[in-house]
Amino acid sequence: MKIALLQTDIVWQDPPANYARLVPRLEAAAAAGARLVVLPEVFAHGFSMDEGRVAEDEDGPTATFLREQAARLGTWICGSIPLRRPGHPRPFNTLVFAGPNGERTDYAKIHPFTFAKEHERYAAGDRFVHLCIEGVRITPFVCYDLRFADEFWVNADETDLYVVVANWPERRRHHWTTLLQARAIENQAYVAGVNRVGEGGGLVYTGDSRIVDPWGEILAAGARQETMLLADVDPAVVAHARETFPVLPDRRPLLAAPKRG
């Protein structure tokens, strides 16, 4: 299956402007044969802590945009949206997958970024999500989730491809690129990480999006400029890596740290 990552700039808190900028890029990805197109975290708003302004209903304009474009182009499209849920006082940073035939799968970011006070504005998700697109088993994560290796580990057996969307700032760009490659190597799976470029909310973003194969080899990468990354993802490559170098069976449950004193 061919996937496309759209490493884009984001017009701050202006969804209609971002929709307009994305339409030709989505068309180009579909024309290139992509069966899954991945957009950055909060692609329609930017990483805003003004949740009262940017949060949308679950079937609001940005989710509708994804659904309509997926149907129009005949491909899957995903990107994260700040979504309200009935009965919850705070919205969730939600990665929405929209399919060409009306399918939809939502993953709520499990780890809000406490360093930026995201946890004070957005609720934390409480479950992992899996979906299968054209035979490729996918597990999604959002930005700060990338730092928590154990949560990738527990999902490895049912994952061919981890999708990670982000607004990861320039000052920690080395962390982003290193962790993407590490998660692929540790779990012998593809990792597709897409990050924004440009400036927003006082931060600079350099992209550094990449697609990494189960051996840790970088199949596609881009930095600083808007670009589209394309690569083929093949579950047979994952299975072969795990058969020829069987690391996963040697994993044990995480041990508790020894008590002091």
Residue 4 pLDDT more than 70? yes
CATH code of the region 2-248: 3.60.110.10
Give the number of other CB atoms < 10 A from CB of residue 200.
21
DSSP 111: S
Catalytic center residues: 41, 109, 143
Question: Could you tell me the two tokens for 223?
Answer: 């930095």
Average pLDDT, rounded, for the chain = 96
- With vertex at residue 183, the alpha carbon angle to CA 201 and CA 241, rounded to the nearest 5 degrees, is 145
50 CB contacts (<8 Å, ≥6 apart)? 13
Rounded-to-integer distance, Cα 12 and Cα 42, Å: 10
Q: In what order do the strands lie in the sheet with 104-108?
A: 104-108, 92-98, 76-83, 36-38, 2-7, 227-232
Q: For 29-50, how does the pLDDT look when each residue is reduced to its tens digit (9 = 90+)?
A: 999 999 999 999 999 999 999 9
Q: For 162-206, how does the pLDDT look when each residue is reduced to its tens digit (9 = 90+)?
A: 999 999 999 999 999 999 999 999 999 999 999 999 999 999 999
So where are the chain's domains? 2-248
Residue 25 pLDDT more than 80? yes
What confidence score (pLDDT) does residue 33 get?
98
Residue 105 β-bridge partners: 97
What average pLDDT score do residues 51-70 get?
97
Q: Exposure of 104 by Cβ count < 10 A (0-12 exposed, 13-18 middle, 19+ buried)?
A: middle
Residue 260: band (very low, low, confident or very high) from pLDDT cuts 50, 70, 90: confident
What confidence score (pLDDT) does residue 155 get?
97
What average pLDDT score do residues 202-231 get?
98
Written as one string, the DSSP assignment of 135-174 is TEEEEEEEGGGGG-HHHHHTTGGG-SEEEEEE--BGGGHH
Residue 252: band (very low, low, confident or very high) from pLDDT cuts 50, 70, 90: confident
Token pair 């957009």: residue:
39
